[in-house]
Amino acid sequence: MKLSIAIILSALLTTSSAFAPASPGTAGRSSARSHAALMSSLADAPAPAENASDSDAAAEAAEEAAAPTDDASAITEASGGGDVDIASGDRQKLYGQDLELPETYVMCGRCKTAYAMQPDDLGTRGKGRRIECSVCHHSWYQARDRLFTINEAHELVPAPSHHLERVSSNLAADRPPAYCGELKVYVGNLDFYTSEEDLRNVFAEKGEVGDVNIITDDDGRSRGFAFVSMMNKEDEAKVLELDGQDVSGRSIVVRPPNN
């Protein structure tokens, strides 16, 4: 069983030049789902040091500002719909739709939404470019040599609706975008084929589920236990009632975690 990395297929690729509105692309947390997003421009400002040290980010921002601007659309690639301007972000919007998903991705440090991305999607200027998360609108300077690579135990899948809804709810309530709740419980004696979605459905009967994390080995196989986060601490008594409930033919153990 492979671990999922939900992604949304398109990120907002930004430079100091304005882009015309573009249709949705693909992005997510461990999987890929189309998400409405418009290209936009950001004012030139020091890039956040999310994927680099402060000094690296400052150097990259200075290099970006000093780089020539006439090569922003120099890379093109043929697709089913004709030539695609890679450097302006056209190809990145097609991942998971007209184009296969790549083996590399980036992740928003605030809401943990991932985006399918190849190095040359970040343009040819400097070491990379600024990008903006189309879910929580956090922006950062992304270097081409700092993309994540999918290993054999993981796969990119569409970002589930519950992830997008949780981020939206957190932003509306002025909570951190990646907030997963006040209550975490240990869930043991799981069948090795029980999925995160199976557990989410079970715990959703007791309250709003923030996150489900089945612990796996290096090969992506379940180790038979998980941790479930609930958004509201007040649901604890109801959640603990699930101790001993049958899930996939096994009586699960539900209790507060040791730590």
131-142 per-position pLDDT tens digit: 889 889 999 999
pLDDT at position 233, please?
95
Q: pLDDT tens across 42-57, in order?
A: 222 233 344 444 555 5
Most confident by average pLDDT, 47-51, 76-80, 147-151, 155-159: 147-151
HSE-up of 109 (CA within 13 Å, CB side)?
A: 11
pLDDT at 235 over 80: yes
Find out whether 106 and 112 touch, Cβ atoms under 8 Å: no
Q: How far apart are CA 90 and CA 13, in angstroms?
A: 10
Lowest mean pLDDT among 14-23, 42-51, 62-71, 111-120: 14-23
Find out whether 183 and 233 touch, Cβ atoms under 8 Å: yes
DSSP-derived secondary structure for 38-64: --------PPP-SSS-HHHHHHHHHHH
Give burial (CB, 10 Å; 0-12/13-18/19+) of 254: buried
pLDDT at 39 over 60: no
